[in-house]
């Protein structure tokens, strides 16, 4: 089992004992979904959770989010708060699933959702699209409880965006192609620190944010297998990847300088590359510390 078994065992013992977890319980990273736009069996869209005691902080809501939360043994009736890194579809396709299904599964309070400008409009459009569902579930024999608002949206700017009960979440702006707003997040709580990159090309701000963190969860593509694609415009594919995402070699350099205790690769754009090819790329970049390939459900 990957990660820190002592922490996981402590959490499982606490759950088995039926006690509610306290803020003393360690912050644990759960890889809820490690995919990207390409559908893959057994791999859900981008989503990472940080669990601190009984609180679950979710970063992005990719396709299949509710099933992925269930598979990861995390709550399906609403997380403590959602943080969206950016509004690309692969990171937000699960938003209607998270909002609507968590309500049907018993959520009784508004879902707090933090993210870039545009998240409020996206959420409003989702609620409008499913207006009849929302109406009939309340008016009909299901007797669902109406919640107003269904989502409490916070459109954020860089800085501390959440600070409550010993958990602080800090956002930094990262460069991600032509998107106007993309954020990486750092979570500090229970004596642990975690950085989640979201999607970004190499970012000095993200590198500074990650200095000495316990866990750096970072997107990556395989430099070894990056080629022009056989389609109209496909000759620009390597340039696109270079401008929008972070290669394994570049990530190795970032990690060598920021020195996380563990580097976890997610949002794995392999283009056919094997685990060992990706890891060799990180090593070529100069990182000699602990690095792992992320899989859905892994805990660190």
Q: Is the peptide bond before 58 cis (omega within 30 degrees of 0)?
A: no
Using an 8 Å Cβ cutoff, are 245 and 202 in contact?
Answer: no
User: Residue 39 is encoded by which pair of tokens?
Assistant: 């559908």
Cβ distance 79 to 56 under 8 Å? yes
Which C-beta is closer to Zn ion: that of 118 or that of 166?
Answer: 118
Is 90 marked active-site? Answer: yes
Choice between 48 and 193, CB closer to Zn ion: 48
CA–CA dist 216, 105 (Å, integer): 32
Q: Is 69 helix (H, G, I), strand (E, B) or coil?
A: helix
Q: What six digits make up the tokens of 37?
A: 């736009």
- Least Cβ distance, residue 113 to Zn ion (angstroms): 18
Nearest to 62 by CA among 274, 251, 266, 292: 266
Sort 86 into a burial class: Cβ within 10 Å, 0-12 / 13-18 / 19+: buried
**CB nearer Zn ion, residue 90 or residue 224:** 90
Residue 28 has which token pair? 């644990």
Residue 88 Cβ vs Zn ion, minimum distance, rounded to whole Å: 3
Task: Work out how close the CB of 45 gets to Zn ion at its nearest, in angstroms, rounded to a whole number.
Answer: 8
User: 167 vs 264, which CB is nearer to Zn ion?
Assistant: 264
Residues 6+ apart with CB under 8 A from 231: none
With contact defined as beta carbons under 8 Å apart, do 297 and 64 qualify? Answer: no
Token match 């790329």: residue? 281
Structure-token pair, residue 254: 């970032």
**Active-site position among 25, 60, 90, 248:** 90
**Shortest Cβ distance from residue 143 to Zn ion (Å)?**
38
Quote the tokens at residue 118.
Answer: 């545009």
CB of 241 to Zn ion, least distance (A): 12
List contacts with Zn ion (CB under 5 A): 88, 90, 199
Complex with Zn ion: residue 85 or 123, whichever CB lies closer: 85
The residues annotated as belonging to the active site are: 90
């Amino acid at each position: 089992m990957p990660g820190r078994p002592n922490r996981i065992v402590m959490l499982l013992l606490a759950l088995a004992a039926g006690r509610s977890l306290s803020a003393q319980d360690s912050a644990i990273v759960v890889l809820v979904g490690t995919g990207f736009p390409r559908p893959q069996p057994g791999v859900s869209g981008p989503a990472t959770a940080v669990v601190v005691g009984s609180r679950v902080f979710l970063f992005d809501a990719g396709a299949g989010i509710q099933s992925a939360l269930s598979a990861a043994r995390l709550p399906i009736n609403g997380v403590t708060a959602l943080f969206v890194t950016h509004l690309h579809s692969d990171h937000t396709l699960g938003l209607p699933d998270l909002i609507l299904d968590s309500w049907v599964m018993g959520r009784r309070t508004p879902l707090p959702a933090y993210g870039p400008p545009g998240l409020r409009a996206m959420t409003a459009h989702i609620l409008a699209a499913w207006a009849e569902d929302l109406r009939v579930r309340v008016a009909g024999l299901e007797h669902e409880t109406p919640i107003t608002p269904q989502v409490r949206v916070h459109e954020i700017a860089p800085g501390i965006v959440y600070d409550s009960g010993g958990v602080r979440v800090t956002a930094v702006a990262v460069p991600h192609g032509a998107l106007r707003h993309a954020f990486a997040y750092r979570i500090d709580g229970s004596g642990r620190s975690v950085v989640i990159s979201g999607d970004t090309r190499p970012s000095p701000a993200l590198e500074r944010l990650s200095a000495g963190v316990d866990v750096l969860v970072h997107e990556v593509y395989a430099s070894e297998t990056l080629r022009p694609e056989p389609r109209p415009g496909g000759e620009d594919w390597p340039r696109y990847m270079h401008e929008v995402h972070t290669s394994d070699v570049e990530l190795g350099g970032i990690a060598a300088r920021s020195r996380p205790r563990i580097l976890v690769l997610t949002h794995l754009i392999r283009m056919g590359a094997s685990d060992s090819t990706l890891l060799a790329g990180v090593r070529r970049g100069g990182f000699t510390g602990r690095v792992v390939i992320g899989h859905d459900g892994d805990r660190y």
